[in-house]
Amino acid sequence: MPYVQRKWAEMPRPIVCLAPMDGITDSAYRRLVRSFNSNVVLFSEFTSAEGLLRSDKVRQRLRFAPEEHPYFVQLFGNTPEAFRQAAFIVEQQGVAGIDVNMGCPAKKIVHSQHGSGLMRDVNQACRIVEAVANACRVEVSVKTRLGWSDGDKLIPFASSLVSAGASLITIHGRTYDQHFSGRACWEPIYALKRHLTVPVLGNGDVQDYQDGLRKMGNLDGFMIGRAAIGNPWVFQPHGRRGGPTLRERVAAMIEHYGLMREIKPEHQALIEIRKHLAGYLRGFPLAKSARRTLLETTDEPTLLRRLEALAEGPEVLALAS
Ligand SMILES: Cc1cc2nc3c(=O)[nH]c(=O)nc-3n(C[C@H](O)[C@H](O)[C@H](O)COP(=O)(O)O)c2cc1C
């Protein structure tokens, strides 16, 4: 069925999203997540607005399959003009919306006033949102943090973004200073929701769907990031006790690798699948040496042979290696 564009405001609650994650949420993983969850909203990895204008390779990275809808592209950058042109291109690709990254804490990004850096320049942040909103008709959202070093300015900052045209705000419950340390704090996000007329999503430390529901409070939904790595089941409302079986995990790994190979060459897929394999094996009793053997595999036939052996049991993997 063709995707029918829906406004954030009209989406059924809770709005549950796969958080944008660089190096993780490529089209392969998004399709795998979709195959397990029909309603999850999918976000791309963050993509440079300027890079998109210059490079075909960057544009190709944003390609998606129809079943990925609702699919949102996240852009980062710091010039309204680059965002305006990039938004136009992205809209032509048929996405459901464009998300502006105002939360990335990486030094390189922040020093060039991208990502979290925009929290310190409200004027520029609003000009970017305005530029995107005026350039396209799809939904425009912003993903940001509580603030730079505290949450004092969260309400005025997010209110300005909404006045500039943002139709949804996602808050990762940490400040820039915290990066990923400590525990995400959701109280300021609940307070923000009481001041905004647009939907607000919470993010930070959600372990699974039920945990998201517990944390959601008065919000419209939540995003799951790290807990979704190697865990496409994390969005299911009724997870099984003990999680998926070894065979199910291995089947997902093989499927995932196959989807990657549809869009990436072997050497790249073999490197990128490692982070995911570590996620699939999280919490699973597997000897360190077996885990290493699997993660360090350098050719495709061996990887597939080892995965098939693992499905039979860790001892079979040990024999096959
Ligand atoms: C490997 C990795 C890559 C990430 N890349 C992005 C990104 O491209 N854009 C973004 O807004 N956030 C990015 N994030 C942050 C997540 O979207 C999310 O806000 C953060 O991990 C907190 O949520 P969690 O506790 O559910 O992981 C990334 C996080 C990780 C771990």
Assign 3-class secondary structure to the chain: CCCCCCCHHHCCCCEEEECCCCCCCCHHHHHHHHHHCCCCEEEEEEEEHHHHHHCHHHHHHCCCCHHHCCEEEEEECCCHHHHHHHHHHHHHCCCCEEEEEECCCCHHHHHCCCHHHHHHCHHHHHHHHHHHHHHCCCEEEEEEECCCCCCCCHHHHHHHHHHHCCCEEEEECCCCCCCCCCCCCCHHHHHHHCCCCCCEEEECCCCCHHHHHHHHCCCCEEEECHHHCCCCCCCCCCCCCCCCCHHHHHHHHHHHHHHHHHHCCHHHHHHHHHHHHHHHCCCCCCCHHHHHHHHCCCCHHHHHHHHHHHHHCHHHHHHHC
Pocket residue to mutate for ligand 1, from 22, 48, 145, 175, most atoms within 8 A of Cβ? 22
Categorize the per-residue pLDDT at 321 as very low, low, confident or very high, splitting at 50, 70 and 90.
low
Q: Is the pLDDT of residue 84 over 90?
A: yes
What distance in angstroms lies between residue 90's CA and the mean position of ligand 1's atoms? 21
Q: How far apart are CA 291 and CA 296, in angstroms?
A: 9
pLDDT recorded at residue 1:
60
What structural domains does the chain harbor?
A: 8-228 (3.20.20.70), 246-320 (1.10.1200)
Categorize the per-residue pLDDT at 186 as very low, low, confident or very high, splitting at 50, 70 and 90.
very high
Q: 225: Cβ below 6 Å to ligand 1? A: yes
What distance in angstroms lies between residue 272's CA and the mean position of ligand 1's atoms? 16
Q: What angle do CA 64, 258, 284 make, to 5 degrees?
A: 110
**Ligand 1 atom 13: residue of nearest CA:** 21
Active site residue 126: no
Q: 182: Cβ below 6 Å to ligand 1? A: no
What distance in angstroms lies between residue 95's CA and the mean position of ligand 1's atoms? 20
C-alpha closest to that of 211 among 226, 192, 197, 191: 226
Mean pLDDT confidence for 291-311: 93
pLDDT recorded at residue 27:
98
C-alpha closest to that of 251 among 35, 40, 65: 35
Q: Is the pLDDT of residue 72 over 90?
A: yes
Q: Say if residues 206 and 224 touch (Cβ distance below 8 Å).
A: yes
Q: How far apart are CA 22 and CA 200, in angstroms?
A: 22
Residues of the chain above pLDDT 90, percent: 85
- What mean pLDDT value characterizes the chain? 94
Mean pLDDT confidence for 83-96: 96
What distance in angstroms lies between residue 309's CA and the mean position of ligand 1's atoms? 32
pLDDT recorded at residue 275:
94
- pTM summary value: 0.96
